[in-house]
Amino acid sequence: MSLNRNSIITAALILVLTGSLRANDRIGEAIDAGTDYLLGQVKGKQVGTRAEGQVALETYALVVSGISVNHPVVRRNFDYLFGRLSKSKHTYTLACYIFALDAAISQIEQDLLILAPAKVQVMFKDDPRIGKLYRPHLKKAVDNLASIQMAGGGGWSYGPSKDRFDNSNVQFAVLGLGVGVKRNIPINRKVWLKILDHFVLGQQEKGPEVEERVTMMKPSDIDAWNSKVKLIDGDKKEPEPAAKKGARPKKSDKGRTTVVVTPENPEVGLEGIKVYSRGFDYTNKGGATWNMTCAGLSSLILAREVLEKRVPKQQLNALNKAVRDGYGYLMTHWKPTGSYYGMYSLEKVGDLGDIKLFNKHDWFEEMSGHLIGQQRADGSWVSSHGHGENGEPRIASSFALLILNRASSLITKNPNSRIIVSGKSNPGESGARDWVFIPELDKTVHYPTLMRHIRMRPNVKLIKFLENIVENYPQEFRGELIPDMASVRDSIRSKSVRTVIDSHLEQITGYEYKEWKDYLKWHRRWERVMAIGVSKKKENVQDLLNYYASTKKSVTLKKAVMWALVQCQSKEALPLLLADLDSSHETVRRSAYGFIKAYFINFPPSFNAAAAEATRKAQAEKVRVWCSAEMARQKARG
């Protein structure tokens, strides 16, 4: 028996299970478990028993993790903070409060932008009409934070101070002011200039030269973050006169890569630019620690974002050198998982700086893997280190959730870029199918995140948007959508919402099951069938034959079994396919005939699955006779 070559190629191209819809399941599951834990803890204890800063931090983590700003617990927390912090001058508390307020506004923006027309998404800018409840409080908090900066320097203490600061407070303050810039809240330029001088002058004066280099994200890598690589080599050597715009990298005598830089193509670690290991400590006394080097870097990155075109070149060069050498310190003292506070500090640097790799270290992969491994059965994280983490799982868990959600990307990034909608028009670039191309929007949508949005914050429009996903997902793989969809269906109480999801589940499986759990059973059978088809293990053919005989309701599942049997080159399947030319389902008849053709080099007599019954029966009989004769010829030829 031989298979039609074109059929093999087509099946391979369309049906081989490349990529995975659930590639990020471990991170998503960790976030979900951690969110459930933290929400339960916050719900169970009155906010008045905790410091305002912890309330703000926990609220920030919950909102970033997807809990609706309209959730009773989140509303209660914000009401509490509104009443307590209007006159606050406490740095940590104000910063976390600002983060939570900004996250609330961003959440509302995201929900609007998911369903906005493409033009609105492209043109989106911070709209003061969105999140009106939170904006006055945000402005007041940003103003308060700016007002307690040291008058004679660029630092912050725990509260107003003339002569004391520590860089842990400073990094939180700077990030809070970064929110203010994003939300168009006026901040005196002198505040940012003092921040720049504070860290450039406070960095270690000397350090050893290092060979390690960071790898910046390429534009394609950060498409989901909607930002550009920042120029950090302002003191680079001038390119050769003959260099052309967009020239390819060329090897230097030392074996490193030299990149000709244009304003549109800034890079890091150019040939001729030396990098040294120079870090920061808590009080700018010439020492260096991991956490405070992260603090200095994230602060300088934000200062550069604000001041890049508003300071002299010499000052910008000094800033760029400080950032570059700060990276040098991190890469030569690599310990990203020392504490939850430290991991959160590194996440700020990585996401604000658009860093892909520190030397050869994928910082987010290492940290997320560590956090998943450290998560406890109840969804919490516990640390014995300082920064308020000691034995306090709620603080450690809040930091862990912020890291896994890459929360710092929200501080300066457009909310339209937030992992839900991408400008990519080619969903197959990565080989995964978690991004679904929607022709009407000319955008790709991240299905797992969309489902998480729906589970956390269901609304009618968002639920209806699922129609776009189901309609545009590759038909052969739609079974992959079921687990997330069924899980969301089970978590939502609204009967009308469940009805909509049930209709999508029915469309995917081809049958309306009375119990939603039957859709999960369907998925397990479908997944097993597809796996057998991909592996082409003939020892599993009997399982497929049993599935074929027992599949009476779902046409979609039956088609998958047909495909798997053909992939396994099962001779026993041919009589079943021939019998199904008389099926009562037109789709089954058409599919059976299509797969019958895959068994032979030559094509059998024509068969019209939509023809009148008498015509079909006559055509089916001709096909059976032809197949019998063809099989006999093949057997005779050996």
pLDDT, averaged in runs of 10, over the chain (638 residues): 31 29 68 94 81 95 92 95 95 97 90 62 71 96 96 92 94 96 94 96 96 81 34 34 42 32 36 87 95 96 90 91 96 93 94 92 94 96 72 91 86 49 39 73 74 79 81 88 86 82 90 87 93 90 93 91 92 93 93 92 92 95 94 83
Quick one: pLDDT at residue 608?
96
User: Is 44 found in the same domain as 6?
Assistant: no
Instruction: Give φ, ψ of 480 to 5 degrees.
Output: -65, -25
Q: Quick check: 177 and 119 in contact, CB under 8 A?
A: no
Residue 418 within any structural domain of the chain: no
Residue 411 within any structural domain of the chain: no
The pair of three-digit structure tokens given for residue 258, joined into one six-digit string: 């030299």
User: Is 342 found in the same domain as 304?
Assistant: yes
Q: Which residue has the tokens 């097993």?
A: 528
User: Is 638 found in the same domain as 526?
Assistant: yes
Instruction: Report percent pLDDT > 90 for the chain.
Output: 56
Q: Quick check: 342 and 227 in contact, CB under 8 A?
A: no
User: Is 457 found in the same domain as 601?
Assistant: yes
Residue 391 within any structural domain of the chain: no
Number of separate domains in the chain:
3
User: Is 301 found in the same domain as 215?
Assistant: yes
Calculate the average pLDDT of the chain: 82
Q: Quick check: 486 and 495 in contact, CB under 8 A?
A: no
User: Is 32 found in the same domain as 19?
Assistant: no
As a whole number of angstroms, the distance between CA 210 and CA 254 comes to: 15
User: Is 46 found in the same domain as 17?
Assistant: no
Range of the domain at 275: 209-384
User: Is 338 found in the same domain as 227?
Assistant: yes
Quick one: pLDDT at residue 637?
80
Q: Given 3-state DSSP classes, what are the helix, strand and coil percentages for the chain, each rounded to the nearest 5? A: 55, 5, 40
Beta strands 214-216 and 443-446 are unpaired
User: Is 295 found in the same domain as 243?
Assistant: yes
CA distances from 558 to 223, 528, 562, 613 (A): 39, 13, 6, 22
Q: Which residue has the tokens 């260099």?
A: 243
Measured N-to-C along each axis, helices 517-535 and 541-550 cross at an angle, to the nearest 10 degrees, of: 140
Residue 191 within any structural domain of the chain: no
Among residues 61, 58, 60, the alpha carbon closest in space to that of 50 is found at 58
Quick one: pLDDT at residue 15?
28
**At residue 278, what is the residue type?**
R
As a whole number of angstroms, the distance between CA 534 and CA 64 comes to: 39
Quick one: pLDDT at residue 272?
66
**At residue 347, what is the residue type?**
E
Beta strands 355-358 and 214-216 are antiparallel
Residue 404 within any structural domain of the chain: no
Residue 479 within any structural domain of the chain: yes
User: Is 47 found in the same domain as 34?
Assistant: yes
Among residues 54, 45, 120, 118, the alpha carbon closest in space to that of 92 is found at 54
The most distant pair of C-alpha atoms in the chain lies apart, rounded to whole Å, by 99
Residue 358 within any structural domain of the chain: yes
User: Is 256 found in the same domain as 170?
Assistant: no
User: Is 231 found in the same domain as 160?
Assistant: no
Q: Quick check: 227 and 302 in contact, CB under 8 A?
A: no
Residue 172 within any structural domain of the chain: yes
